[in-house]
Amino acid sequence: MQPLKAFYWMIGAVVSFVAMAVAGREISAELNTFELMLYRSIIGLIVVLLLLGRSKHGFAQVKTNRFGQHLTRNVLHFSAQNMWFYGIATIPLSQLVALEFTNPIWVVLFAPLMLGEKMTRKKLFVAFLGFIGVLIVAQPGVQPLSWGHAAGLGAALGFALNNMMTSKIMRVDRVLTVLFWMTLMQLVFAFFLSLPGGIPVPSSQIAPWLVVVGICGLTAHYCLTMALSLAPASIVAPMDFIRLPIIAIVGMVLYSEPLLMPVFIGGGLIIAANLLNLRDKPKPKQP
């Protein structure tokens, strides 16, 4: 287990997710979430195929004995990602991310059942501290609730289950294997779900944003997958909490969303939970 290296990969994932959030809000003016996911998957698949062609193991590495697990993972992720993009278009960015950050709480609760990870008092305390921070930021009962908030919670659960499935798959498959099946399967899902209303051609105004979503969606999952290969899901997931203060500032600068003190107070608790979770564990003695 290498939590410090996993943290570095998660920084790359955070930057990619923030860029994807901004691009997703811009694209929502013209495309629905299924159409957005279709173009994102097309761009992502092209990039993955280029990487496979230049990699040491080539296209042989797309072969997998875990096809069913890849299918389950991508159904979960595709559903969660659509809800995430819907939330981006309907509620403030900081609120969406705050709701999304119930993700590690689900991971801590489900990881012992799905991944066989040991439940400890420290992990429970980290989840509890992060959850308190999320409540402070989201202010339930104070802010009006909408379908966007429900989508944010649904996305959090879907991402948590996706993270755990990714952790299981990475025990046997390579990163490019995971990314290949992700982009291919989700392209098929999005294509058939986009057909009923017709698939629009994006305008020149949002075409660059589609490229951002396609590339950042890929880099985010590459970084996340690498992080999950270096540390358990219950350690990797809370690292993403640093995205909250970053996205709050981005929302204020780009969309004039209010930057309230609860965001900083709750964000401080969330970062404290991250630091506690990332503390080095004593190394086992060498025989």
pLDDT in tens, 211-235: 999 889 888 878 887 887 888 766 7
Residue with tokens 């698949």: 45
* pLDDT for res 138: 67
Tokens of 30: 């013209």
Please give the residue that has the higher pLDDT: either 104 or 10. Answer: 10
Nearest to 273 by CA among 242, 228, 248, 246: 242
* pLDDT for res 80: 93
* pLDDT for res 274: 66
pLDDT of 115 strictly over 70: no
Q: Using an 8 Å Cβ cutoff, are 101 and 130 in contact?
A: yes
Question: What whole-number distance in Å separates Cα of residue 23 and Cα of residue 116?
Answer: 37
CA distances from 21 to 24, 79, 87, 277 (A): 5, 16, 10, 26
Instruction: Determine the average pLDDT of the residues in 91-112.
Output: 78
- In eight-state DSSP terms, residue 140 is B
Q: Name the band, by pLDDT with cuts 50, 70 and 90, for residue 79.
A: very high
Average pLDDT, the chain: 83
Say what angle helices 33-54 and 67-90 make with each other, to 10 degrees.
130
* pLDDT for res 6: 87
| % of the chain at pLDDT higher than 70 | 89
Instruction: Determine the average pLDDT of the residues in 253-280.
Output: 76
* pLDDT for res 279: 63
Q: How far apart are the first and last CA of the chain?
A: 18
Question: What whole-number distance in Å separates Cα of residue 73 and Cα of residue 164?
Answer: 9
pLDDT of 180 strictly over 50: yes
Burial 98-110 (b: 16+ CB within 10 A, else e): bbbbbbbbbbbeb
pLDDT of 92 strictly over 90: no
* pLDDT for res 283: 45
Instruction: Determine the average pLDDT of the residues in 189-215.
Output: 90
Residue 274: Cβ within 10 Å count: 21
* pLDDT for res 278: 59
pLDDT of 23 strictly over 90: yes
* pLDDT for res 7: 87
* pLDDT for res 287: 39
Burial 237-263 (b: 16+ CB within 10 A, else e): bbbbbbbbbbbbbbbbeeeebeeeebb
Q: Using an 8 Å Cβ cutoff, are 121 and 276 in contact?
A: no
* pLDDT for res 18: 92
DSSP state letters, 203-231: PTTTHHHHHHHHHHHHHHHHHHHHHHHHS
Question: What whole-number distance in Å separates Cα of residue 18 and Cα of residue 16?
Answer: 6
Residue with tokens 């900081």: 94
* pLDDT for res 284: 43
Please give the residue that has the higher pLDDT: either 245 or 9. Answer: 9
Give the containing element (helix H, strand E) for 62: none
* pLDDT for res 239: 77
Q: In terms of C-beta density within 10 A (0-12 exposed, 13-18 middle, 19 or more buried), how is residue 155 classed? A: buried
Q: Which range, of 67-71, 205-209, 223-227, 236-240, averages the lowest pLDDT?
A: 236-240
Instruction: Determine the average pLDDT of the residues in 20-34.
Output: 92
Q: Name the band, by pLDDT with cuts 50, 70 and 90, for residue 24.
A: very high
